[in-house]
Amino acid sequence: MNTSRGVILVSGASSGLGRAVAQRLAADGFRTYAGARSFASGAKPPSGCLGLPLDVLDEASAEQAITHIIDKEGRLDGLVNCAAFLTFGSCEETSAEELQAVLETNFLGMARMTRHVLPIMRRQHYGRIINFSSINGVLGIPFQSAYTASKHAIEGWSECLAQETRRFGIRVTLIEPGDCRNGSQKYRIIAKAAHEESSPYAVYFQGAVQQITHDENIGMPPDRVAQAVSKVLQSQNPPARRLGARPDQRLAAFLHSILPGRLFYRIMESYYAPKKEKK
């Protein structure tokens, strides 16, 4: 396996974007460690990758994974934080426990992994950290409040991280993908209360989920995002953030930055409304 481009750890590499990223990096010549909980129970890692049991919710698991890589390789050049899941539901009907579960994986899991690699990268005076945000980290989408909150947290935390660690030769990049195809339904959960037909949000929730599902089905291929990650890792001057999305989603991000809030909310509400309300 060619290691000339460095040693990289990808979390959340069992499916979806994480798996696509790990496989692309291995194909592009990185010595790639693919981390996920399922690799402890015999699941196969992406092609060309070294599978590594990793639970981003567990301090001991995170530390053991990093220690294993350093013992084997003597260095760690990059960390790509992909581990995440999504819960659909209104703000009112997403319980504190459901919100906490999303934040613990998407945000705190990312922060945990990053904290464990920083001492190593500081000693090396070199490192690349790529944190997966989302277009949800740029703007809010109805009935994705927990996921959106986690991605906004990642955006802010990563900006602080980038400023604090630049002097140590560490570069931080936010990847902000839009909808992608072939996402694992295992990591798309519906809040318990959202299943109730008596919910005051039921009709609007169903309309939004239908639109979201459609957008995912026509979304970008995961490898397109994976290629962007590979380019960032190979760049001498990596960007602070990279938005990877369809033109209409790029337009939405632009409009979010220039339109009055109330007007933008009306546009989004109309887009995700039930079909009969769109006529």
Q: What are phi and psi of 157, to 5 degrees?
A: -60, -40
DSSP symbol at 136: G
Please report, for residues 120, 159, 205, 222, 269, the alpha-carbon distance to residue 225 in angstroms, rounded to integers and kept in the order given: 27, 21, 28, 5, 27
Give CA–CA dist 215/93, Å, rounded. Answer: 24
Give CA–CA dist 173/35, Å, rounded. Answer: 20
Residues contacting residue 182 through CB under 8 Å, at least 6 positions apart: 16, 221, 222
Structure tokens at 264: 């933008």
Contact assessment for residue 30 and residue 5, using Cβ atoms and an 8 Å cutoff: yes
Buried b (16+ CB within 10 A) or exposed e, 63-74: ebbbebbeeeee
* Beta strand segments in the chain, E: 7-11, 31-36, 50-53, 78-81, 86-88, 127-132, 170-177, 188-190, 241-244
Q: Catalytic site residues?
A: 14, 133, 147, 151
**Angle formed by the axes of helices 96-103 and 145-165, to 10°?**
30
- Determine the length of the chain: 279
Give CA–CA dist 47/37, Å, rounded. Answer: 17
Nearest Cα to 86, choosing from 150, 21, 181?
Answer: 150
